């Protein structure tokens, strides 16, 4: 926590106190910034020249501070008097309540929020640019007319299109992006010990920590605030409660310690479609990968295009569970539900159910076990294994409901089975659950279900698969 101290000038003036070094000579000196525990006195303490208009109770023979006192005894009461006068005029500025500021800016436009951030922090704030649609942040900063800084993390594994995009952005805005690189020794150690693609086997967190999180930490240590392109609609599981401004819960800033860094999220309340409408209207450079179906863009080995019926974040770390799709840069978004967690780690907090078509059958554990035992079914079934909190299940809800309505009366049963929580282990062992959602087809004359292998979850793709296997 930082404390700012301002000392106002006295009503009268003289050269009795020179600059802020409290020197008894006429030469100026640079003040020393003092530290008290974790408190730091921000900015230089400026004291305007003040005359020592002492009260009538004081001796009229006292000379100015820059004159040598005759004895040590005469100096002691003089110093005590000066300190007392200055102490009375010290004004302690309270730390800003960023929760209250977030409430005030909740309905502000991204341009207003950006302008407020740049005005408040000047050269001590920078935009985090990933090479995706957060070029909108740079455009907003440009529109404010204020100077701004941009930095980006070059992991060494980005797509060629992303590097060309960086160059186009620099030329378009006449800026230089401040690139941060991972430590070469750390990267070398990781690759030599675990190979180039260890993240496919043991999760992406270790690689992201080396290539992204630690370089980001170094960048942020030189700032008091940073600006991100996070939006609430990007990931309902981890970003749904992002405020437009907050004290960063994970990283430290220039002054060090918890609470020393502020995070600004100007587009937190903006939907993805509106961001893209803005980019098209302003005719700014965009990453060419977007035209190929990439929405959320990261490193080349960990990013792919999304398909119909998929959520935009499903193109990131697609081999992992829905709750793991943060790299660590915004770890503070993920809330630990320790009080409500069950044995499998999912929250028992009430979540609204999904897939609500009247033509859908809701299967219980007993129901799906009975379905598995039937070797000669009278009709084929298609069943989605889902978790209502999963953003990727939510993304395919509309198409799956439409499929149920389309197949009503056709002789094909459309069903759902909630496979998280207490049913997760069973679903993994008996129902081929890998990640949410998993779609199974139970043909008429087959003893075991067939797993739908594609990630295309639109109605036409699901119907075509059903026609091929039923």
Q: List CB contacts of 396: < 8 A, sequence separation 6 or more.
A: 309, 310, 384, 437, 457
Catalytic choice (208, 299, 327, 393): 393
DSSP string, 268-287: TT--HHHHHHHHHHHT----
The Cα 155–Cα 210 span in angstroms is 9
**Cβ(186)–Cβ(227) below 8 Å:** no
The partner residues of 417 in beta bridges, in order of sequence, read 385
Omega of the bond leading into 18 within 30 degrees of 0 (cis): no
Q: Is 390 a catalytic residue?
A: yes
Q: How many CA atoms lie within 13 A of 169 on its CB side?
A: 29
Return d(Cα 353, Cα 418) in angstroms, integer.
Answer: 9
CA distance 268 to 462: 34
- Cα distances (Å, whole numbers) of residue 262 to 99, 107, 458: 11, 19, 41
Q: What share of the chain is helix, strand, coil (3-state, %, to 5)?
A: 35, 15, 50
Task: Print burial letters for 266-299: b (CB count within 10 Å at least 16), e (below 16).
Answer: bbbbbeeeebeebbeeeebbbbebbeeebbbbbb
Distance linking the first and last C-alpha atoms of the chain: 65
Is 393 annotated as catalytic? Answer: yes
Element (H, E) at 191: helix 184-194
Instruction: Give the distance from CA 205 to its chain's centroid.
Output: 15
**Active site (catalytic) residues:** 390, 393
């Amino acid at each position: 926590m930082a404390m700012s101290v301002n000392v106002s000038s006295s009503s009268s003036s003289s050269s009795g106190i020179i600059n802020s070094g409290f020197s008894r000579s006429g030469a100026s000196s640079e003040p020393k910034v003092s530290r008290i525990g974790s408190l730091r006195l921000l900015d230089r303490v400026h004291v305007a020249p003040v005359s020592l208009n002492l009260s009538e109770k004081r001796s009229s023979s006292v000379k100015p501070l820059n004159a040598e006192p005759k004895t040590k005894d005469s100096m002691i009461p003089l110093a005590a008097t000066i300190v007392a006068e200055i102490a009375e005029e010290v004004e302690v500025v309270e730390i800003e309540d960023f929760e209250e500021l977030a409430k005030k800016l909740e309905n502000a436009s991204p341009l207003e929020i950006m302008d407020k951030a740049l005005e408040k922090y000047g050269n001590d704030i920078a935009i985090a640019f990933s090479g995706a649609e957060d070029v909108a942040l740079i455009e907003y900063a440009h529109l404010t007319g204020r100077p701004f800084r941009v930095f980006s993390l070059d992991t060494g594994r980005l797509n060629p299109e992303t590097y060309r995009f960086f160059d186009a952005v620099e030329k378009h805005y006449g800026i230089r992006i401040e690139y941060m690189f991972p430590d070469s020794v750390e990267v070398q150690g990781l690759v030599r010990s675990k190979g180039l693609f260890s993240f496919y086997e043991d999760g992406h967190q270790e690689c992201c920590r080396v290539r992204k999180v630690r370089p980001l930490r170094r960048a942020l240590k030189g700032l008091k605030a940073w600006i991100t392109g996070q939006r609430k609609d990007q990931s309902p599981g981890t970003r749904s409660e992002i405020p437009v401004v907050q004290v960063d819960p994970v990283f430290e800033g220039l002054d060090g310690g918890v609470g020393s860094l502020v995070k600004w999220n100007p587009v937190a309340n903006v939907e993805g479609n509106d961001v893209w409408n803005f980019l098209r209207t302003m005719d700014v450079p965009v990453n060419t990968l977007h035209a190929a179906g990439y929405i959320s863009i990261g490193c080349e080995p960990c990013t792919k295009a999304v398909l119909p019926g998929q959520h935009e974040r499903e193109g990131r770390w697609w081999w992992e569970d829905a709750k793991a799709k943060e790299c660590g840069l915004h770890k503070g978004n993920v809330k630990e539900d320790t009080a409500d967690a069950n044995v499998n780690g999912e929250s028992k907090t009430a979540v609204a159910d999904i897939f609500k078509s009247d033509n859908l059958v809701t299967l219980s554990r007993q129901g799906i076990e009975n379905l598995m035992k039937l070797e000669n079914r009278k009709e084929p079934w298609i069943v989605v294994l889902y978790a209502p909190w999963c953003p990727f299940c939510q993304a395919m809800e509309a198409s799956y409901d439409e499929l149920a309505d389309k197949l009503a009366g056709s002789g094909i049963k459309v069903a759902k089975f909630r496979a998280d929580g207490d049913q997760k282990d069973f679903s993994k062992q008996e129902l081929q659950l890998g990640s949410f959602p998993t779609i199974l087809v139970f043909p008429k004359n087959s003893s075991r279900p067939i797993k739908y292998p594609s990630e295309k979850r639109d109605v036409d793709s699901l119907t075509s698969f059903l026609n091929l296997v039923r």
